[in-house]
Structure 1
Amino acid sequence: MSEPLAERLRPRTLDEYVGQKHLVGEGAVLRKMIDAGRISSFILWGPPGVGKTTLAQIIANKLQTPFYTLSAVTSGVKDVRDVIERAKSGRFFSSNSPILFIDEIHRFSKSQQDSLLGAVERGVVTLIGATTENPSFEVIRPLLSRCQVYVLKPLEKEDLEELLHRAVSTDIELKKRHIELRQTDAMLRFSGGDARKLLNILELVVEAESGDDVVITDDKVVDRLQQNPLAYDKGGDMHYDIISAFIKSIRGSDPDAALYWMARMIEAGEDPQFIARRIVISAAEDIGLANPNALLLANAAFDAVMKIGWPEGRIPLAEAVVYLATSPKSNSAYCGINDALALVRETGNQPVPLHLRNAPTSLMKNLGYHDGYKYSHDYPGNFVEQQYMPDTLTDRRIWHAQHSPVEEKSYQQMLRCWGKRFEE
């Protein structure tokens, strides 16, 4: 039996690798490390099917170093220790540390992650982890501090089209047929930026045709996928469309649609923690200062899910979703931090004004640190006007109120304190 198309087309070199130019393109950070022949431990974070495992294998081949693989789903602490012992004995044959690739590292327990620490710290192994979940939530801090995190993106349309044309023109099995890619929009849409899913769909459509001449159209793809619902799952095609619809329904103040899309995720077997995290993000990003209690309730729902588990956890999640969807909306804090970050990148490291600096030593005091600072609580209303921005940015505004009933109170307070500076 022939290997699946996705496995037959798995890239063996960086030149065959599709996408992630920001990491492995000419002059990119990972490409430089690989070309230099030495890498440090890192974690690849990105959605399924964007090349995390493939990239790790390419790196091991390029560096000609032993490569060990563990799956967090099936491996325990003993398996981790066994691999580390094998890596120690194999170090003799290579100047580089053996690479230990851990797929779905976010599923490793704390004790499993703890068992890795010493080996990573001493350089017994170079750790490459792969995860579809935010490492800052799922990877213990000591291990995370020893690893750089690289974010992999869903493949772009151009990347997916390149992959399709490469498949029909180079794959040993597909070349036996005459395949015309007349329309590709449906395949690209259902793949959701997932290369493996895209190739699975292509293989499914081709195998459903009886003759040697195969013409692929959007209608044909949709028809084949409707007949084969297991051809795609929550990890690929509709996953990112549905979570997008869920968040946009909350943002758009439609509790019916928000509950519907959450039900779709629940029925598809989505991780409840993933849903809960998205709800917390939505509370901060979309409801924000218009109703600060939304973030408190979203966090409470997250905690409740962790405490009571599933399926009862759906109830506090539903409560939070309805509350968020029916709340007034503001993204002023979200816009404010994005504008602040853009300003910092534009203007660089501006000096802290002297009166705002800390002065724990007499030398610092003699240099004028802290001199002239006015303590707000010593003044009426606990406010006194003084400069807080760097000298070159005194006139720059970052936060702009959006005048929902709750946020309006904050805005009026700023008008009372600063007057014209905050007039919109």
Structure 2
Amino acid sequence: MQPLAERLRPQSLDDYMGQEHLLGAGAPLRNMLQSGQLPSLILWGPPGIGKTTLARLLAQESGRPLHSLSAVDAGVKELRELLQRAKKQNLFQQGKSPLLFIDEIHRFSKSQQDALLSAVEQGVVTLLGATTENPSFEVIRALRSRCQIYRLRPLTAQQLQSIAEQALAKDELLQQYKVEVVDAEALQQYAAGDARKLLNILELLVGSHADPKQPLRITADLLAEVLQENLAAYDKNGDWHYAVTSALIKSIRGSDPNAALYWLARMLAGGEDLKFIARRLIISASEDIGLANPNAILLANQCFEAVDRIGYPESRIILSQTVIYLACSPKSNSAYQAINKAMELVEKTGQLEVPLALRNPRSQEDRQEGFGDGYLYSHAYPGHFVEQEFMPEALRGHKLYEPAQNAQEHKFKQKLDQYWKKYR
């Protein structure tokens, strides 16, 4: 018999639970289906929230054939053979390119992802990738640029309760038992936003129930006894992954190594992906420490590489060292603020012309247009500096970087004061 999670897999979007921000009225995926225009997508989210099911339903709703590959099993050869078959079918010429669903797409190597580029760009297939990892780190940039990335959210406690109730009411096997969920909150905490895990727990509890004629009362004690898991590792609302991560980063930002270590331990006890933790530390090293201690990002990067090579449990020591170092480092968010200001300025002013003096002439015509005229080579001047304007004409004198109050950036400001009037 199929597992309970497979038996209860939704057969239509009306039965699909969650992701209202993508599938509700007026939401992006709903609008795409209604318009008949479905682009290549990467569905990013934690396990057990319906990525595979959503891909199947999108194929069903759009009326397109669906081909599935698992990045764990498929190689470049299998991928290219599938793409060749899709090309021969010629459906993309009729505007009905088949959907190619790749589960765990982050496990594809760079060469495997490269093999997808041409087919996706030409529309030979419409890619539906599913990943539990941040695509910014695990999917190559060229493939990301050809896909719309949507983040799927963990299921809420209410949604998990609805799934449990439907399973008990509709599944033929579970209907044979008198099941009473006494402690729904504990059940949801163990599921941690994961519908597959929730259904697996129900199936396990029923399977371990000695006498089908006797009522099965699902209590916190029974869950602890059967599952042998630490309930304290999970947050009440099933979103410990996000809440505890936020607590760790805020503790580092607040220069509290003790609290940061506690939240790190919570993440480790909860089975958090070690590389996810290390990535968050790299971001913290740049966003919250930044130029106050430039060595912080170097240590955080080394932490990521070491964690990737060594694994658990020894990696806990490397993570601990890095967390303590970051929490005890001087703090500055000047780089974070500066790029935000710059992005806002670009959005406000648009694509301003690059000054002619800053353009490299690549042809005789460029030279005739004045490319490079007036550019002063900094190294040809005393101290390797000469004052000149590098901003577009409309933004002359504009200042985006404000040095923060710390020893390192104080040195920066002294040098900038020496060079530029705008910093005096």
Q: TM-score range by the shorter chain?
A: 0.7 to 0.9
Structure 2 residue aligned with 1:292: 294
Q: Contact (CA 8 Å) 2:99, 2:125: kept in 1 or not?
A: yes
Query: Greater CA deviation, 317-326 or 372-381?
Result: 372-381
Mark the CA change 1:160 to 1:273 in structure 2 (over 3 Å): closer, same or farther: closer
1:18-75 CA-to-partner distances (Å, cap 9, x unmatched) read 5464x55667665554334243433222344555334322321121112233343455
Q: 1:308 to 1:224 in 2, by over 3 A?
A: closer
1:304 to 303, 306, 309: 306
Counterpart mapping for 1:194-213 below 5 A: none
* Offset, 1:127: 1.8
| 1:150-299 equivalence runs, <5 A | 150-152=149-151, 154=153, 160=156, 163=159, 173=169, 237-299=239-301
RMSD: 4.8
User: 1:234 deviation in Å?
Assistant: 7.5
Segment drifting more, 71-80 vs 353-362: 71-80
Query: Residue 291 of structure 2 contacts residue 408 of structure 2 at CA under 8 Å; is this kept in 1?
Result: yes
What corresponds to 2:43 in structure 1? 44
- Do the aligned partners of residues 282 and 223 (structure 1) sit closer, same or farther apart at CA in structure 2, a change above 3 Å counting? farther
Matched residue type, 1:282: S
User: Which residue is equivalent to 1:135?
Assistant: 135
Distance 1:286 1:7 in 2: 47
Cα deviation code 1:347-382 (max 9, x no counterpart): 211222333333333333333333322332333333
Amino acid at match of 1:101: F
Paired letter, 2:169: E
- Residues 356 and 370 of structure 2 are in contact (CA less than 8 Å); yes or no, is this contact kept in structure 1? yes
CA contact (8 A) 2:40 2:148 kept: no
Cα displacement (A) at 1:406: 1.1
Whether contact under 8 Å (1:53, 1:103) holds in the other structure is yes
Q: Contact conserved, 1:73 with 1:107, CA < 8 A, in 2?
A: yes
Preserved contact between residue 190 and residue 237 of structure 1 (Cα < 8 Å): no
- Residue 129 of structure 2 aligns to a residue whose secondary structure is strand
TM-score, with length taken from structure 1 = 0.74
Give the distance between the partners of 2:399 and 2:219, measured in 1 at CA. 51
1:332–1:97 CA distance, 2 compared to 1 (3 A): same
1:65 maps to which residue? 64
2:423 paired with 1:422: yes
Q: 1:102 Cα deviation (Å)?
A: 1.8
| CA–CA separation in structure 1 for the residues paired with 2:20 and 2:360 | 43
3-state DSSP of counterpart to 2:128? strand
Structure 1 residue 327, shift from structure 2 partner? 0.7
Q: Deviations over 1:224-248 (max 9, x none)?
A: 9878775988795322222222222
Q: How many residues align?
A: 409
Shift of 1:135: 2.0
Q: Which residue of 2 is the match for residue 389 of structure 1?
A: 391
Q: CA deviation at 1:10?
A: 4.2
Alignment of 1:341-352 (within 5 A): 341-352=343-354
TM-score w.r.t. the length of structure 2 is 0.74
Which residue of the partner structure matches residue 208 of structure 1? Answer: none
Number of the residue aligned with 2:366: 364
Conservation of the 8 A alpha-carbon contact between 1:14 and 1:58? no
- The Cα of 1:105 is off from its aligned counterpart by 1.4
Letter in 2 for 1:326: C
| CA distance in structure 2 between the aligned counterparts of 1:200 and 1:380, rounded to whole angstroms | 72
Distance in 2 (alpha carbons) for counterparts of 1:225 and 1:346 = 55
**1:374 aligned onto 2:376:** yes
Equivalent AA in structure 1 for residue 270 of structure 2: A
2:251 and 2:332 map into 1 onto residues whose CA distance is: 15
Unaligned runs of 5+ in 1: 177-183, 205-219
% identical aligned pairs: 51
Letter in 2 for 1:262: L
Structure 2's unaligned 5+ residue stretches are 176-183, 205-217
1:322 lines up with 2:324 in the alignment: yes
Pair 1:102-2:102 in alignment: yes
* CA deviation vs aligned residue, 1:234-293 (integer Å, no higher than 9, x gap): 795322222222222221212222233223323333222222211111111111000001
Contact 2:190-2:234 within 8 A present in 1 as well: no
The separation in 2 between residues aligned to 1:33 and 1:40, in whole angstroms, is 8
Q: Secondary structure at the match of 2:130?
A: strand
After TM superposition, give the deviation of residue 405 of structure 1 in Å. Answer: 1.0
